[in-house]
Amino acid sequence: MPPKLNIRPFQAADRAAVIALWQACDLTRPWNDPDSDIAFCMSKPDSTILVGEQDGKIVASVMTGHDGHRGWLYYLAVEPSIQKSGFGRAMVAAAEAWLQARGVPKVMLMVRPENERVRAFYDALGYTEEPRVIFSRRLDGK
């Protein structure tokens, strides 16, 4: 049986470990500063980061929150050496429970087109692909 995962809210001392995890899972991009993403998320009441810990080490994460209509998942990550042990599923379930506790009726997420392999994971969790096109515009002048 794989070691248990202790899922809890992010704390300030987790910052470096969480960013290292996101880098190991290839989730960081030059246009998204992880420090600012963490600070912004954790400063608002409608969003949070949950971390998964094993023996005091951060091995999983998920950012979640809602916009008053839908819930969203971001930065879902499981340390590469322990993937396929059920921890990704556990992190998504924890984020869903966080959203459900706040009355959010539907959860959504975006998958980058090059991340083909993650589709099977979301399929296994009962997520369905919705044919939508996403438009965006930066509001921060970057």
Ligand X SMILES: CC(C)(COP(=O)(O)OP(=O)(O)OC[C@H]1O[C@@H](n2cnc3c(N)ncnc32)[C@H](O)[C@@H]1OP(=O)(O)O)[C@@H](O)C(=O)NCCC(=O)NCCS
3-state secondary structure of 139: coil
3 makes contact with ligand X (CB under 6 A): no
Binds ligand X (CB under 6 A): choice among 5, 7, 19, 27: 27
Residue nearest to ligand X (CB): 88
76 makes contact with ligand X (CB under 6 A): yes
Stretch that binds ligand X, among 33-41, 45-53, 120-128, 131-139 (CB under 6 A): 120-128
3-state secondary structure of 60: strand
Smallest gap from Cβ 141 to ligand X, in A, equals 27
Q: Tell me how many degrees the CA angle 50-45-133 measures, rounded to the nearest 5.
A: 75
CB 91 within 8 A of CB 7: yes
CA distance 78 to 70: 24
Binding site for ligand X (CB under 6 A): 25, 27, 76-78, 83-89, 109, 111, 115, 117-118, 120-121, 124
